[in-house]
Amino acid sequence: MAALFFDIDGTILDRNQRCLESTMESLRKARQSGHLLFINTGRTACDIPKEFEEVPFDGYCCGCGTYIRYQNQVLFHSTIPSARGAEIADYMIKQGIPGALEGTEHIYFQRADYNKNADLVEYRENIAQKNDGVVHTIEEPEIRYDKLMFCAEDAGICERFLKFLEPDIRAIDYGNGVYECIQKAYSKATAIQWLQDYLKLDKEELYVFGDSVNDIDMFSYVKHTIAMGDHDRVLDPLTEYVTDVVEREGIRKALEYYGLIV
């Protein structure tokens, strides 16, 4: 038995946010073969695609290790403390920093400032379209969230905000002023380690599949590391096997390469 951990965007979903039927079928085969399947994503729990229920996965690691669910039971959840969360939100509002505060139940956007960034607009609209009731506003009096992302084109504003976050929040730089910000104690690797200990799994039984800079932690932790054909080159030194792109059945090819499905 192996435990397989999958990133979502660019790994299971293609650039158009679609999941190929061949990918879903390959995942079903892996599970039927007795392997455990987990999503390990930067997305928070409220932003998991509904079609993933068709596999089904054994568990979900969301928010870069801040939320762990196994067989419909939440085993672990760390939220940014409410006082600190309010402090961060207030800073973003006053400085006009567009971003999203990502929680387990809701994702919070500014009423107006998000319009300054096209990627943020698209992110908000996609969530609103697919997940009714998830989108809320950052200005609400009581907000609870696990992580955040922001877009700051002004280098000075960006530097000051990163320094403000630094005591307890780690920022991943995606370039062009876009940052994903995570509670320092957690990562995709800590989620895997937590489940490894809980399920008493050997490290040789762990496989990770990803494509992005926020997959570095789990690629550093696990031996069997599979990078998608179109992946961030920072993963190269940590990659055991490069499969095809998701659009050309990269997941199926990787599972077959390792003998996890036939």
Amino acid letter, residue 93: I
Among 85, 188, 184, 193, residue whose Cα is nearest residue 142: 85
Whole-number mean pLDDT of the chain?
A: 94
CA distances from 97 to 114, 148, 177, 178, 242 (A): 8, 12, 11, 11, 37
pLDDT confidence of 115, banded at 50, 70, 90?
low
Collapse the DSSP code of 208 into the 3-class scheme (helix H, G, I; strand E, B; otherwise coil) and give the result: strand
Whether the per-residue pLDDT at 117 is higher than 80: the answer is no
The stretch 197-220 carries a mean pLDDT of 97
Phi, psi angles (nearest 5°) of residue 169: -125, 130
Closest CA to 260 of 224, 217, 211: 224
CB contact at 8 A, 208 and 219: yes
Model pLDDT, residue 16: 87
* Rounded average pLDDT over 173-182: 93
- Position 241 scores a pLDDT of 98
Count of positions (residues) in the chain: 262
Q: Collect all residues with Cβ–Cβ distance below 8 Å to 196 and sequence separation of at least 6.
A: 3, 203, 206
Domains and CATH numbers, the chain: 3-77+186-257 (3.40.50.1000), 82-183 (3.30.1240.10)
pLDDT given at position 90: 96
Q: With 70 as the cut, is the pLDDT of residue 217 above it? A: yes
The pLDDT value given to residue 63: 98
| pLDDT value, residue 113 | 56
- Predicted pLDDT at 111: 78
Question: Of 19-33, 119-133, 178-192, which gets the smallest average pLDDT?
Answer: 119-133
What's the rounded mean pLDDT across residues 91-95? 93
pLDDT of the residue at 116? 67
Phi and psi at residue 183, in whole multiples of 5°? Answer: -55, 130
